[in-house]
Amino acid sequence: MKKIVKIVAIVVAVVLVAAFVAPMLLRGKIAQIVKREANEMLAAKLDFEKLDISLLRHFPNASLDLKGLTLVGVDRFEGDTIVAAQRISVVVNLMSLFGDSGFEVTKVILSSPAVHAHKLADGAVNWDVMKPSDEVAEETPAEESSEPSSFRMSVRDFRISDAAIRYEDDSTNMRFSTAPLSLRLRGNMSADRTDLDLRLTAQEMRFVSGGIPLLSGAEAELVAVIDADLANNRFTFSRNTLRLNAISVGLDGWVELDDDAVVMDLTAGCDKVQFKDVLSLIPAFYTREFKNLTAGGELSMALWAKGEMRGSALPAFELKTEVRDGSFQYSSLPKAVTGINIAAKVANPGGVMDKTVVDLSKFGLKMAGNSVSATFYATNLVSDPVFRATAAGRVDLGAVKEVYPLEKGVELGGQITADLKVSGRMSDIEKNRYEKLGA
């Protein structure tokens, strides 16, 4: 009996020693693989402070932690940190480390990653870090190029926590940022077909286009179960909800990835959204005494997209939105804005962006004894915009302070009275052919 106990004790001791010693032996090998693969594929500088390997943390799988990872641009983006992460944790099938069939990854966790995407005015982007395939082929010996990849993905759990995302487009003066962002994606991605359980949350979203803030401090959440046919790259949406602040939108349909094209048949919509929830998306309202704002009225929205998106070609799509009997009033001000009615549509029959039609068929409101109404229609948006617009009403600028809290020191005065109709082409305005305009 004593001999059996001794044998068991020796076996346990050997296993424990192996569990602590093996990571030390494997650490150099895996670090070399990571850096070698990166250097062969990337036209950027990949580095990390520390690599840890554990056979016990996720036993019977092995875990690999990269701490202090950075991806820094080169050439025109020299010194531009594209990606940084406090920690990246990867769980690998332990047995796959000792074979030649490749490493099987089952879990990936990114902690506090920061991503900065930057597009210059001439169209160059800092995230184009993959070397051309012919360049990679030149660096890879011929006898190695025919061998299968030593990496295969079988992720069942992918997580991102406390991410910071920033996008800058100098060509359009567009900016987007959000922090923190969290993502959880579960599913068997090595199977031909699986259900992907997705939850995404993004806070403090800010979106600026052309120097105009369109979103500020907004919050978004996507909860989705996706039927993923991975063999055919087809993804079917069911039981999905996208929330932007308090506005929830249902999503249905499917998307299929076909080489360099995306084929889709999608619908989305929401009914009877409270008008105050809509105002919460507008920075001018949300940042100024929003908690003291009362509002009435409802919004509805419907969106569909069907067809193929390939290069500059667009699928057919239509977005319709309507505000009915909207109103709002700040508790600190004496008067309200009432009678807000809006009907708008953006549609494209499929093909190029130039076919897109923007139609604001109804816009009207009443404000402190003033009333305003307007319409707008435009198409050929890229080549030569064709437009028609109307505006009618009377606005006493001095009454604005009775319905909206102006900044300190801002004073408005005067009256605007309009009864206007105008139509024509943008090219006629640019070339001073005013006789061709209708006014």
Assigned token pair, 80: 């531009």
pLDDT at 373: 95
**CA distance readout (Å), 8 to 2, 14, 16, 20, 56:** 10, 10, 12, 19, 19
Q: State the 10-residue block means of pLDDT for the chain, 439 residues long.
A: 44 41 54 68 79 68 80 82 88 68 75 90 83 58 51 73 92 89 86 88 88 83 90 87 85 88 90 81 74 87 92 90 91 91 94 91 91 94 92 91 87 91 93 90
pLDDT of residue 19: 43
* Closest listed residue to residue 314, CA positions, set 266, 257, 263, 362: 263
HEC secondary structure over the chain: CHHHHHHHHHHHHHHHHHHHHHHHHHHHHHHHHHHHHHHHHECCEEECCEEEEEEEEECCEEEEEEEEEEEECCHHHCCCEEEEEEEEEEEECHHHHCCCCCEEEEEEEEEEEEEEEEECCCCCECCCCECCHHHHHHHCCHHHHCCCCCEEEEEEEEEEEEEEEEEEECCCCEEEEEEEEEEEEECCCCCCEEEEEEEEEEEEEEEEECCEEEEEEEEEEEEEEEEEECCCCEEEEEEEEEEECCEEEEEEEEEEEECCEEEEEEEEEEEEEEHHHHHCCCHHHHCCCHHHEEEEEEEEEEEEEEEEEECCEECEEEEEEEEEEEEEEECCCCCCEEEEEEEEEEEECCECHHHCEEEEEEEEEEECCEEEEEEEEEECCCCCCEEEEEEEEEEEHHHHHHCCCCCCCCCCCCEEEEEEEEEEEHHHHHCCCHHHCEC
Cβ–Cβ < 8 Å for 338, 366: yes
Report pLDDT for 20: 44
pLDDT at 217: 83
pTM of this prediction?
0.70
Q: Determine how β-strand 103-119 pairs with β-strand 151-169.
A: parallel
